[in-house]
Amino acid sequence: MTAQDAQKTIFITGAGSGIGRATAKLFAERGWFVGLFDVNQKGLDETSAMLPEGQRMSVTFDVRDRSGWARAIDAFGNATNRRMHVLFNNAGVGKGGFIEEMKDEDIDLVLDVNLKGVINGVNAALPLLRATPGARIINTASVAGVFGAPRLAVYCATKFGVRGLTEALDVEFSRFGVRVVSLMPWFVDTAILDGMAATESNRTIRDSLTENKTPIYPVSMAAERAWDAAHGKDIHYMVGQEAEKARFFARFFPGAMRRQIAKNFGSETV
């Protein structure tokens, strides 16, 4: 085994900002070779500049594009001697509002990136993962995959979908020796919080959370939990104490959970 073969490798989508960037920096600091992938060339270049040369590579592509996936996987495989220890399916978008008021193109974007993009990644990366002993997939879900919130219905649908996909594939891929786990953050300080409407068109989820003194966790915390997800035995990795509480209350006290959601999101019907 060469020194290159001994180095662990991770393929990260959504690496141009937020959780993806923080995770790329953390894994690189801990000696991994990092593949950076994003639709945003500027953000990708900024992340790439933060990592040591010789320890990263990058390709710009859209996770909705299967041909883009094939190109990115091939480039990553060429750089890593056909090894992929972790696929981090992290790319995501957030669009919110009452469902009847959402634009069709926004609904399609959320579904196509957050759910179909994950499925595209699983299928594209599986040959490399199967060829790498101890490989695993980390899918970014959310506490929005634990409970449904008003004005986030489509977003929640995708995150519930990622959660179910993760649980199903973890069983399916056991025949290949590949684990499938999820990262389930509470509200994390990323641009998604500024792109989803809360109670009014000119107010964001961040505005609502700040007003209600709801914790917003740093991306560094999510990156640390991604590290745990790459090494641990659990299937779902919650990010932050509030995420753990949400999982507990959603399971054992769903009525109280719904009342809290109504308070935080200003729904009059929950």
User: What pLDDT sits at residue 214?
Assistant: 60
* Number of H-type helices and E-type strands within the chain: 12, 7
- Tens-binned pLDDT, residue by residue, of the chain (270 aa): 344 567 999 999 999 999 999 999 999 999 999 999 999 999 999 999 999 999 999 999 999 999 999 999 999 999 999 999 999 999 999 888 899 999 999 999 999 999 999 999 999 999 999 999 999 999 999 888 888 888 889 999 999 999 999 999 999 999 999 999 999 997 765 666 565 554 445 566 665 655 556 667 688 999 999 999 999 999 999 997 776 666 665 665 566 666 666 665 555 433
User: What pLDDT sits at residue 173?
Assistant: 98
User: What pLDDT sits at residue 29?
Assistant: 97
Output the CA–CA distances (angstroms, integers) from residue 139 to 20, 98, 179, 198, 219, in the order listed.
Answer: 12, 26, 11, 25, 16
For the chain, domain boundaries: 3-190+216-265
User: What pLDDT sits at residue 89?
Assistant: 98
Question: What CATH fold (topology level) applies to the domain 3-190+216-265?
Answer: Rossmann fold (3.40.50)
User: What pLDDT sits at residue 2?
Assistant: 44
Q: Which neighbouring-strand residues pair with 217? A: 188
3-state secondary structure of 136: strand
Q: Residue 80 in contact with residue 33, Cβ under 8 Å? A: yes
User: What pLDDT sits at residue 90?
Assistant: 97
Q: Which two tokens stand for residue 126?
A: 């599986």
Q: Which two tokens stand for residue 186?
A: 């509470």
Q: Single out the residue of 166, 170, 240, 253 nearest to residue 209, CA to CA.
A: 240
Distance between terminal CA atoms of the chain? 58
User: What pLDDT sits at residue 47?
Assistant: 98
Sign of the Cα pseudo-torsion (125, 127, 128, 130, in order): positive
Q: Is 155 noted as a catalytic residue in this protein?
A: yes
The one catalytic residue among 76, 155, 237, 265: 155
Predicted TM-score (pTM) of the model is 0.87
Q: Residue 84 in contact with residue 32, Cβ under 8 Å? A: no
Q: Whole-angstrom Cα distance, residue 65 to residue 38?
A: 12
Find the DSSP H helices in the chain: 3-6, 18-29, 41-49, 66-79, 104-111, 117-130, 153-172, 192-195, 205-211, 219-231, 241-252, 254-265
Taking CB atoms within 8 Å and a gap of at least 24, the contacts of 148-151 are 149/261, 149/264, 149/265, 150/98, 150/261, 150/262, 150/265, 150/266, 150/267, 150/269, 150/270, 151/96, 151/97, 151/98, 151/196, 151/197, 151/198, 151/199, 151/265, 151/267
Q: Single out the residue of 25, 72, 63, 73 nearest to residue 47, CA to CA.
A: 25
User: What pLDDT sits at residue 269?
Assistant: 39
